Amino acid sequence: IAGITQAPTSQILAAGRRMTLRCTQDMRHNAMYWYRQDLGLGLRLIHYSNTAGTTGKGEVPDGYSVSRANTDDFPLTLASAVPSQTSVYFCASSAQGGSYNEQFFGPGTRLTVL
């Protein structure tokens, strides 16, 4: 069982370019999330999806978009990358419903925008 996988592992991107970060989970979790991790700022929620077909904005959604066409996949797209989007991006998932559901995290994607 792979859990959550992310691709690519790392990427260097020119400013203005479009980039899609991929996230796939095989745990049949309904809820999925995208976070960015920055030194001194912790983890901040970008977008989330409670179930396939629905998405919502998190704390820092500007410059990012997501889609949830099916249960397993939750891609994050940067339409026109800017240097401030240099960060480590983590995808996570959790079972929907009930209290205290644990979020499971992917290995992360390190993105550098030049």
Partner 1 sequence: AQRVTQPEKLLSVFKGAPVELKCNYSYSGSPELFWYVQYSRQRLQLLLRHISRESIKGFTADLNKGETSFHLKKPFAQEEDSAMYYCALRRYGNNRLAFGKGNQVVVIP
> Which residues are near partner 1 by CB under 8 A?
31, 33, 35, 40-45, 48, 50, 58-59, 90, 92, 94, 96, 99-103, 105-108
Nearest distance from residue 94's CB to partner 1, in Å?
Answer: 6
**Do 79 and 65 contact (CB within 8 A), yes or no?**
yes
Nearer Cβ to partner 1, position 86 or 105? 105
CA distance 26 to 58: 23
Nearest distance from residue 63's CB to partner 1, in Å?
Answer: 20
Nearer Cβ to partner 1, position 14 or 102? 102
Q: What is the dihedral of CA 28, 33, 34, 37, to 10 degrees?
A: -110
**Do 81 and 18 contact (CB within 8 A), yes or no?**
yes
Nearer Cβ to partner 1, position 15 or 41? 41
Nearest distance from residue 29's CB to partner 1, in Å?
Answer: 10
Angle of CA points 114, 88, 105, to nearest 5°: 155
